Amino acid sequence: MTSPQTQSQVINLLRELVVTTIDALCNELSKSRMTVLRALRSYGYFSSFNFNSSYFTLKDTPDFDKHGLWFHGPIGFSRYGSLTQSIKAIVEHSEQGLTVEQLQKRLGTKVHNQLSLLCRKGMLTRFYFGRNCVYTSAEAKLQASQEAKRKGLIKKPKAITTIQIPPALEALTVIRLLVEMIHKPDATAASLSQRLQRRDFAITAEQVRGVIEFYALGKKTEN
């Protein structure tokens, strides 16, 4: 157990330094690594999401921005924790999903390996928009909204407007259907319905035909 005096020494020094490494704290205070870590755990701290998580700061030091990030020079900290956890949260909170370039610019570090891991584990998904791979939420309805906004199917209104949606259907379901119709222009109403139902969008083949008629899309609707 770390004594109150030792804990105060560790916390006061890190508050003075703002950001530093465990080794620097140990050397300055002549304390063991375990003693310093116990003191930090007792108070609360963040470790950097870059530089191999080797930098530390106190829990009440960061002034996180709207993306949950705070930088001390090139050293980055995240309210979400590790780089992998931060990527997942930032992508999920984005309106249109994010490309590798956008994520790397925001985080200031490479993200390829973490993105591959998140996609393999089914924690994120992705689609191609032109030559860009866009990463989105793994949650079906949020993913559909992000993809639709990226492709311009949903545009942020300059003023409050009324969007006409076929009766008894949710807007995201209709948007997802329109996206599927773009991807599968020759698909039948029945197959489109089945594809959406597998993604937890409640829509029947008859409702697919109704959407096509509602928007006068002129698509074949045979079974």
Question: What CATH number has the domain bearing residue 1?
Answer: 1.10.10.10
Q: Are residues 58 and 130 in the same domain?
A: no
Q: Decide which of 95, 118, 142 is a domain's last residue.
A: 142
**Strand ranges inside the chain, DSSP E:** 20-21, 45-47, 55-58, 69-72, 75-78, 98-99, 124-129, 132-137
In a domain, 149, yes or no: no
In a domain, 151, yes or no: no
In a domain, 27, yes or no: yes
pTM attached to this predicted model: 0.70
Rounded to 5 degrees, φ, ψ at 30 are: 55, 45
Amino acid 152: pLDDT: 85
Amino acid 221: pLDDT: 46
Q: Are residues 54 and 69 in the same domain?
A: yes
- Long-range contacts, 164-167 (Cβ 8 Å, 24+): 164/214, 166/207, 166/210, 166/211, 166/214
Q: Are residues 11 and 54 in the same domain?
A: yes
Q: Are residues 66 and 93 in the same domain?
A: no
In a domain, 152, yes or no: no
Q: Are residues 87 and 122 in the same domain?
A: yes
In a domain, 148, yes or no: no
In a domain, 183, yes or no: yes
Q: Are 110 and 56 in contact (CB under 8 A)?
A: no
The pLDDT profile of the chain, 223 residues, written as one tens digit per residue, is 678 899 999 999 999 999 999 999 999 999 999 999 999 999 999 999 999 999 999 999 999 999 999 999 999 999 999 999 999 999 999 999 999 999 999 999 999 999 999 999 999 999 999 888 999 999 999 999 999 999 886 555 555 455 677 777 888 888 888 888 888 888 898 999 898 888 888 889 888 888 888 877 655 444 4
Q: Are residues 48 and 2 in the same domain?
A: yes
Q: Are residues 136 and 161 in the same domain?
A: no
In a domain, 138, yes or no: yes
In a domain, 17, yes or no: yes
Q: Are residues 211 and 167 in the same domain?
A: yes
Q: Are residues 71 and 91 in the same domain?
A: no
Amino acid 153: pLDDT: 61
Amino acid 186: pLDDT: 85
Q: Are residues 1 and 75 in the same domain?
A: yes
Encoding tokens for residue 77? 């900290």
| Domain containing residue 126 | 81-142
Amino acid 95: pLDDT: 94
Residues 6+ apart with CB under 8 A from 27: none
Q: Are residues 95 and 33 in the same domain?
A: no
Q: Are residues 1 and 64 in the same domain?
A: yes
Amino acid 160: pLDDT: 47
Amino acid 125: pLDDT: 97
Amino acid 220: pLDDT: 47
C-alpha distances out from residue 131 to 3, 10, 99, 127, 222, Å? 58, 50, 10, 10, 34
Chain-centre distance of CA 110, in angstroms?
Answer: 16
Number of domains in the chain: 3
